[in-house]
Chain A
């Protein structure tokens, strides 16, 4: 707090004074060591800086070794930096005109930076750009320009604890394909110490139901919002019904940090979750047997799931952007993506990897089955807080009127749209 801030300030100033003194007394030394490093390295002008928001050491190591392979192939040096807080560090980089040459970029930040013209639209330059899944191309297309290359992706599937499933007397014929069936099995799986279904306590826990009911949220060009449509209200009422009946719960009500944790600890028998569940189950709950199936369809038979992805961003003002494109080409090639999939469990963003990936990970095939009917997750420029507000409203869904909730969210999105102009 304030007292500690004061100390920190004093320490910073003190350190700055020391540094200045040091710089004055040994200026020659600094110049000497600085001169030697940027020269050399033959073919490329590099070095390239890559800023990643890593999920853990496995991902950092995989990207670092891929970067090393790229250096061996081209002679361009690459430094991989795992960010502590990617959004913040990226913003600092852009503000200081020192943005990294290549970086992970989430869809909302993509909209923010693309709107300001800060991104280099290079994605059509990489080989076979139509190989990327349509939902992903749509996510990273701004003003009809496919801007940056999707790194990898996830979709939502329904994960089922197989032991709970058979204990409740259910068989593979009971796997839910409709909302009504989902409600029935969730009720059957609910016991005293366990709920049937656990949902993510934010918009990703309810948006999939809206799409399954034929609803939409934002238009592809993010110029119109239809959040409070009757279809969406109906879908949200269905989810609210699940929650109030006790057949479904949010993780907090189960004392879990997120739905995967509640599922792994068997506080819930089913969850709707992305493929990030797989890593958690392998490392934290290796003895829990589960299977993943596609999400059930809505009342009219519409199938839908959500897609989550990041892209490899390159700043438009980057002097080394041609080399950066080469690096992304290398990192997003079908072979390299398959390696990444094996090393840290992501789904390749290229359709040409589908067969090999399904063969390698047959138990996760349900995630990939959603590729044809996946909708991009919500993203709009300047919408971070609006989406966060939507999230916190959803977390209170059990005590709120769905129509009022969506009207409020609709208003907020409308004001973001009018602000974006």
Chain B
């Protein structure tokens, strides 16, 4: 099954890691091993070539486009494009107008998406993995497959199913009305959850401090809108589809923890929660870092659900930087600005990943 294969793969991967660490400790080879370098380059040449052609060159090309006025006709290196400096970035960051407004809105939307998706999917994946890791659970294989199923199904198919489920007269709203509740028209509702919540307490209009000040031309009131109802559907979908994948990663890591350690903890008189909190979780830290990092990067790049389900609607509340980059480039034919959006996104992801690494590292050092 897919699950077993991935677990085995993960075992090998972690084995390689340990091996690698040991090798790093050795002094670098030289002298009579000198010719090994040439052979090494020769053997890695195909891979290096692939990386240069499919990774390095496109990135340099995109960087050049983001600083040029390339019109989308012909090769951007062939003279049709001119250097315009930081003009494309300025349109997005400093000049008032639609580009800046859309970037700010897409960042708000995606921020709420990340803040909800990453922790929830990680917790869900971890819980599922811990439950499935019990040795006495009946039908373990079945559950493992069932939870992993959304991850192997195409996003397109799942998105279309969700479109039907959350249709105004769809299954969800029918169920809600059976329970006496009046469901929203999910994909047409741009109201932010935090705004809705404040509305319950009678706050409908922003205090002047929030309405008149802001960042990137967007008022703080709009920054604090919370995810829109439509975005919430995308969030639910993402948590549901990706937690299966991360569950497998956690499961593989859990199975790597020797049973003796747990037995020793039992002998020490710990209860189940203490074992999870004090024994299992610390041993899962590298895996937790992996899952959080993959989750963070993946959620900042969310594109396919938006492309299929909402195209940024309603009222731009499901717009994400990745989709904005696409629509600026292909729809609006402003390739420079589209590339600039993707480099800003790249910068955000790098900064946040470094920050996260720093946070998880620090605690390691403290022990």
List residues of A whose CB falls within 8 A of some B CB: 1-5, 12-13, 16-17, 87-88, 91, 94-95, 97, 109, 112-113, 116, 118, 201, 250, 252-256, 381-386, 388-389, 391-393, 395-396, 411-412, 415-416
Asked whether B167 lies within 8 Å of A2 as measured between CB atoms, the reply is no
Per a CB cutoff under 8 Å, which of B46, B75, B314 touches A97? B75
Interface flags for B293-312 (1: CB within 8 Å of A; 0: not) read 01101110110000000011
Q: Which residues of B in the span 140-176 have a Cβ within 8 Å of any Cβ on A?
A: 151, 155, 167-170
A17-B168 contact, Cβ under 8 Å, with A95-B73, A385-B327: no
Asked whether B74 lies within 8 Å of A97 as measured between CB atoms, the reply is yes
Interface flags for B331-367 (1: CB within 8 Å of A; 0: not) read 1111000000000000000000000000000000000
Residue of B nearest to A251 (CB): B188
Give me the 5 closest cross-chain CB pairs, A-B, nearest first.
A255-B168, A252-B188, A2-B298, A1-B298, A255-B169
Residue of B nearest to A99 (CB): B73
Q: Within the assembled complex, what's the spacing in Å between the Cα atoms of A252 and B169?
A: 10
A392-B316 contact, Cβ under 8 Å, with A94-B72, A382-B334: yes
Q: Within the assembled complex, what's the spacing in Å between the Cα atoms of A105 and B329?
A: 17
Q: List 7 A-B contacts (CB under 8 A).
A: A16-B54, A88-B330, A112-B333, A116-B71, A201-B188, A388-B327, A392-B314
Asked whether B98 lies within 8 Å of A2 as measured between CB atoms, the reply is no
Least Cβ–Cβ distance between A278 and chain B, in angstroms: 25
Asked whether A2 lies within 8 Å of B301 as measured between CB atoms, the reply is yes
Taking CB atoms, residues of chain A closer than 8 Å to B294 are 2-3
Taking CB atoms, residues of chain A closer than 8 Å to B315 are 392-393, 395-396
Residue of A nearest to B248 (CB): A3
Q: Within the assembled complex, what's the spacing in Å between the Cα atoms of A415 and B217?
A: 15
Taking CB atoms, residues of chain B closer than 8 Å to A109 are 333
Asked whether A415 lies within 8 Å of B97 as measured between CB atoms, the reply is yes
Q: Within the assembled complex, what's the spacing in Å between the Cα atoms of A298 and B295?
A: 55
Residue of A nearest to B46 (CB): A17
Other than A118-B73, A416-B98, give 15 A-B pairs with Cβ distance below 8 A: A1-B298, A91-B330, A94-B73, A112-B333, A116-B72, A201-B188, A252-B185, A253-B185, A381-B333, A382-B332, A382-B333, A384-B332, A389-B102, A392-B315, A396-B314
B50 proximal to A (CB < 8 A): yes
Taking CB atoms, residues of chain A closer than 8 Å to B97 are 411-412, 415
Asked whether A3 lies within 8 Å of B72 as measured between CB atoms, the reply is no
B187 proximal to A (CB < 8 A): yes
A95-B332 contact, Cβ under 8 Å, with A255-B167, A415-B97: no
Q: Within the assembled complex, what's the spacing in Å between the Cα atoms of A113 and B328?
A: 15
Taking CB atoms, residues of chain A closer than 8 Å to B102 are 385, 389
Asked whether B327 lies within 8 Å of A1 as measured between CB atoms, the reply is no
B238 proximal to A (CB < 8 A): yes
Per a CB cutoff under 8 Å, which of A16, A385, A388 touches B50? A16
Q: Within the assembled complex, what's the spacing in Å between the Cα atoms of A5 and B55?
A: 14
Asked whether B98 lies within 8 Å of A386 as measured between CB atoms, the reply is yes
Q: Within the assembled complex, what's the spacing in Å between the Cα atoms of A45 and B313?
A: 46
Per a CB cutoff under 8 Å, which of B75, B168, B245 touches A3? B245
B190 proximal to A (CB < 8 A): yes
Taking CB atoms, residues of chain B closer than 8 Å to A384 are 327, 331-333
B320 proximal to A (CB < 8 A): no
B66 proximal to A (CB < 8 A): no
Q: Within the assembled complex, what's the spacing in Å between the Cα atoms of A415 and B151?
A: 43
Asked whether A1 lies within 8 Å of B72 as measured between CB atoms, the reply is no
Taking CB atoms, residues of chain A closer than 8 Å to B167 are 255
Asked whether B72 lies within 8 Å of A95 as measured between CB atoms, the reply is yes
Asked whether B333 lies within 8 Å of A91 as measured between CB atoms, the reply is yes
Q: Within the assembled complex, what's the spacing in Å between the Cα atoms of A281 and B138?
A: 53
Residue of A nearest to B316 (CB): A392
Taking CB atoms, residues of chain B closer than 8 Å to A392 are 190, 312-316
Interface flags for B42-79 (1: CB within 8 Å of A; 0: not) read 00001000100010000000000000000111110000
Asked whether A13 lies within 8 Å of B98 as measured between CB atoms, the reply is no
Residue of B nearest to A202 (CB): B313
Q: Within the assembled complex, what's the spacing in Å between the Cα atoms of A62 and B72?
A: 31
Least Cβ–Cβ distance between A314 and chain B, in angstroms: 15
Q: Within the assembled complex, what's the spacing in Å between the Cα atoms of A383 and B98?
A: 11
Taking CB atoms, residues of chain A closer than 8 Å to B297 are 2
Least Cβ–Cβ distance between B260 and chain A, in angstroms: 32
Interface flags for B227-240 (1: CB within 8 Å of A; 0: not) read 00000000000100
Residue of A nearest to B99 (CB): A385
Asked whether A412 lies within 8 Å of B98 as measured between CB atoms, the reply is yes
Taking CB atoms, residues of chain A closer than 8 Å to B188 are 201, 250, 252-253, 395
Asked whether B302 lies within 8 Å of A1 as measured between CB atoms, the reply is yes
Residue of B nearest to A413 (CB): B98
Taking CB atoms, residues of chain B closer than 8 Å to A95 are 72-75
Least Cβ–Cβ distance between B88 and chain A, in angstroms: 12
Q: Within the assembled complex, what's the spacing in Å between the Cα atoms of A381 and B167?
A: 34
Q: Within the assembled complex, what's the spacing in Å between the Cα atoms of A112 and B332?
A: 8
Q: Within the assembled complex, what's the spacing in Å between the Cα atoms of A109 and B332?
A: 8
B110 proximal to A (CB < 8 A): no
Taking CB atoms, residues of chain B closer than 8 Å to A113 are 333
Taking CB atoms, residues of chain B closer than 8 Å to A256 are 168
Asked whether B185 lies within 8 Å of A255 as measured between CB atoms, the reply is yes
Q: Within the assembled complex, what's the spacing in Å between the Cα atoms of A145 and B245?
A: 57
Taking CB atoms, residues of chain A closer than 8 Å to B169 are 255
Least Cβ–Cβ distance between A203 and chain B, in angstroms: 13
Per a CB cutoff under 8 Å, which of B73, B295, B329 touches A116? B73
B287 proximal to A (CB < 8 A): no
Residue of A nearest to B51 (CB): A13
B242 proximal to A (CB < 8 A): yes
A17-B50 contact, Cβ under 8 Å, with A253-B185, A412-B98: yes
Q: Within the assembled complex, what's the spacing in Å between the Cα atoms of A382 and B332?
A: 5
Per a CB cutoff under 8 Å, which of B50, B72, B151, B245 touches A91? B72
Q: Within the assembled complex, what's the spacing in Å between the Cα atoms of A411 and B301?
A: 30
Least Cβ–Cβ distance between A364 and chain B, in angstroms: 30
Q: Which residues of B in the span 109-155 have a Cβ within 8 Å of any Cβ on A?
A: 151, 155
A13-B313 contact, Cβ under 8 Å, with A1-B299, A2-B297, A386-B98: no
Taking CB atoms, residues of chain B closer than 8 Å to A395 are 188, 313-315
Q: Within the assembled complex, what's the spacing in Å between the Cα atoms of A388 and B330?
A: 14
Taking CB atoms, residues of chain B closer than 8 Å to A396 are 190, 314-315
Taking CB atoms, residues of chain A closer than 8 Å to B316 are 389, 392
Q: Within the assembled complex, what's the spacing in Å between the Cα atoms of A385 and B312?
A: 11
Q: Within the assembled complex, what's the spacing in Å between the Cα atoms of A1 and B234?
A: 13
Asked whether A1 lies within 8 Å of B242 as measured between CB atoms, the reply is yes
Q: Which of B71, B73, B188, B297 has the most CB of A within 10 A?
A: B73
Residue of A nearest to B333 (CB): A112
Q: Within the assembled complex, what's the spacing in Å between the Cα atoms of A395 and B187?
A: 12
Least Cβ–Cβ distance between B143 and chain A, in angstroms: 20
Least Cβ–Cβ distance between A88 and chain B, in angstroms: 5
Taking CB atoms, residues of chain B closer than 8 Å to A381 are 333
Q: Within the assembled complex, what's the spacing in Å between the Cα atoms of A1 and B238?
A: 9
Residue of B nearest to A16 (CB): B50
Q: Within the assembled complex, what's the spacing in Å between the Cα atoms of A1 and B316?
A: 21
Taking CB atoms, residues of chain A closer than 8 Å to B298 are 1-3, 5
